[in-house]
Amino acid sequence: MGKGGGGGGDGGAAAREAARKGRVDSSIRAINELFFGRKNAQVDVPVGIPFARELRDSGGGNIGGDEGGPQYYQRPGFSNQADISAANANNSALGTNLTPERIAALDNVQSTIENKFLPELEEDTSDAKRELKFALARRGLLGGSAQSDASGRLRERVSDTERDIGSRALVARNSAEASQQRLLDNLTAQAQADTDQSILLNQATSGQNAAVNSAVDTANAQQLPNVFQDVGSLFKQIVDKNNLNTGLRQGLNPNSQNSTTTSLFGGAGSPASGSIT
């Protein structure tokens, strides 16, 4: 005869395994709830209402009544079991989307990057516009095609950089979310190894914050490229092209007088001596 122990003759192994599985399932559920929340709003679970005793014609359990008296049967369970089960299912269903707190934290990563770089770009753009206007005015080119071309190229450069900043911000956000997913996978593996649930939940909270902070730090460590460092040569090419066309026309006209070319940032006929930064 097998030894007792509450495990059906297995020394309690089945009971211990059932308890371990219960802890694992509880930990995994708690971790996922922290990452994805619950699917539904929580509702109160109704209190169980026992079935009314039923009078039996014959046989059945005798609950109450004197010997020889009426025979009653007490049905097991609760009359409102369906409502109880529905409430429990509603409350235990986990969400499949990120919790509002996670979404807010990830959105903050994106906005933090944009708020760092966009003001820098705006300041650089203001400086470039001011220097461009001054350079054009010095050469008497305000209002002409050179100004129109230069301003258009400046706007293109600004738009390209704005898109680059937006891309950086999105990459940082996605990086934080990917790190959080790796954290979730690691925590799930630890839970399956029956790691204490309180330890796992502490790691989950600190790990989510660390993923967000790391993504922001990595993005902030990058420098915004000086997109206007070659603006001087860019705009000089525009003026040089105009000068070349003028020279060709003068060469074809034998009656034209010799004239010197004018560059935007240099003196007459000289290389560019200035630049827009």
What tens digit of pLDDT does each residue of 50-81 get?
888 777 655 444 445 555 566 777 778 888 88
Q: Are residues 219 and 106 in the same domain?
A: yes
User: Quick check: is 264 in a domain?
Assistant: yes
Which of 48-62, 180-194, 248-262 is least confident?
Answer: 248-262
Q: Are residues 210 and 255 in the same domain?
A: no
Q: Are residues 210 and 233 in the same domain?
A: no
pLDDT at residue 60, as a whole number: 47
Q: Are residues 158 and 128 in the same domain?
A: yes
User: Quick check: is 40 in a domain?
Assistant: no
Q: Are residues 264 and 220 in the same domain?
A: no
Residue that is last in its domain, among 207, 224, 241: 224
Domain that includes residue 183, residue range: 100-224
Q: How confident is the model at residue 12 (pLDDT cuts 50, 70, 90)?
A: confident
Q: How many CB atoms lie within 10 A of CB 204?
A: 21
User: Quick check: is 55 in a domain?
Assistant: no
Q: Are residues 187 and 145 in the same domain?
A: yes
Q: Are residues 133 and 212 in the same domain?
A: yes
Residue pair 229/235 in contact by the 8 Å Cβ criterion: no
Q: Are residues 105 and 212 in the same domain?
A: yes
User: Quick check: is 220 in a domain?
Assistant: yes
pLDDT at residue 84, as a whole number: 82
Structure tokens, 95 = 């969400």
pLDDT at residue 236, as a whole number: 60
Domain count, the chain: 2
Structure-model confidence comparison of residues 132 and 242, the more confident one: 132
Q: Give pLDDT tens digits for 26-43.
A: 898 889 888 888 776 667
User: Quick check: is 68 in a domain?
Assistant: no
User: Quick check: is 271 in a domain?
Assistant: yes
CA 244 to each of CA 96, 150, 153, 213, 255: distance values in angstroms, whole numbers, following the listed order? 65, 17, 20, 54, 18
Residues 222-247, mean pLDDT to the nearest whole number: 62
Above pLDDT 70, what percent of the chain? Answer: 70
Residue that is last in its domain, among 191, 209, 224: 224
pLDDT at residue 176, as a whole number: 94
Mean residue pLDDT across the chain: 76
Q: Are residues 157 and 243 in the same domain?
A: no
Residue that is last in its domain, among 205, 224, 243: 224
Answer yes or no: is pLDDT of 91 > 90.
Answer: no
Structure-model confidence comparison of residues 29 and 257, the more confident one: 29
Which of 61-70, 145-154, 161-170, 192-201 is least confident?
Answer: 61-70
pLDDT at residue 29, as a whole number: 86
User: Quick check: is 48 in a domain?
Assistant: no
Q: How confident is the model at residue 195 (pLDDT cuts 50, 70, 90)?
A: very high
Q: Are residues 159 and 263 in the same domain?
A: no
Cα atoms in the Cβ-side hemisphere of radius 13 Å centred on 223:
3
Q: Are residues 206 and 112 in the same domain?
A: yes
Q: Are residues 195 and 276 in the same domain?
A: no
User: Quick check: is 214 in a domain?
Assistant: yes
Q: Which residues contact 6 (CB under 8 A, 6 or more apart)?
A: 12, 15
pLDDT at residue 149, as a whole number: 81
pLDDT at residue 273, as a whole number: 35
